[in-house]
A and B are shown apart, each in its own frame.
Chain A
């Protein structure tokens, strides 16, 4: 079974530029998550989708971050414009459903450096 696919693996941009990350979840997984992981910290949930609807985006900085999951399959996370503090690893995870027995499966992540 193919895992969660993310691209690119690495991205270096200058502040105020735009960047987009792509995620393709495990086939059949209804729930998709985007996390931000700053070096030395645990992941911070940015947004959770259930199929193509948003369940929780309370920690997404909506003035600069946006995400979509068209057709309830793959997803794109965008940052526009980027700030220095956005330097982090952006992780995508998916799960079959959403509930007590839920297990999240993670992609390898995209490491973003903002200069």
Chain B
């Protein structure tokens, strides 16, 4: 069945560092891919999405490119801020999952000033 694998956290970076959080997926079809973010004490917010191969999702300085050849959707940001500290979840949905979200385990990001 479908699955999503994320790099384990926590990831600790200094402010203004470059961020990469790896996400790979297994799916038989052509899934839509998502990054959600969960700030402390809050619910999940959609950060960005991509629905077909080579699409790039972007929002708030974050980017992720749908790479079908490597089945990946890595999250990147050029210069992180303390306010980016949160838990980031990669997810997919497709026909096999009945368009329900299949979630990664989440990656906790800690940004130090």
Contact = CB atoms under 8 A, between A and B. Distances in A.
Interface in B35-92: 36, 41-46, 49, 51, 89, 91
A102 B99 contact: yes
Interface residues of B, number: 23
Contacts of B98: 55-56
Contacts, number: 52
Interface size for chain A: under 10, 10 to 19, 20 to 34, or 35 or more residues? 20 to 34
Nearest to B89: A42
Interface stretch (A14-22, A78-86, A106-114): A106-114
Contacts of A101: 32, 51
Q: What does DSSP make chain A's interface, helix, strand, loop or mixed?
A: loop
- In this complex, the member of B42, B45, B103 whose beta carbon has the largest number of chain A beta carbons within 10 angstroms is B103
A78 B96 CA distance: 29
A3 to B, nearest CB: 9
B100 A106 contact: no
A42 B43 contact: no
Contact of A106 (B41, B44, B95, B106): B44
9 contacts: A4-B43, A43-B101, A45-B101, A91-B43, A99-B99, A100-B93, A100-B95, A106-B45, A109-B43
Given A40-B105, A45-B100, A106-B45, 4 more contacts: A55-B98, A56-B98, A104-B46, A105-B46
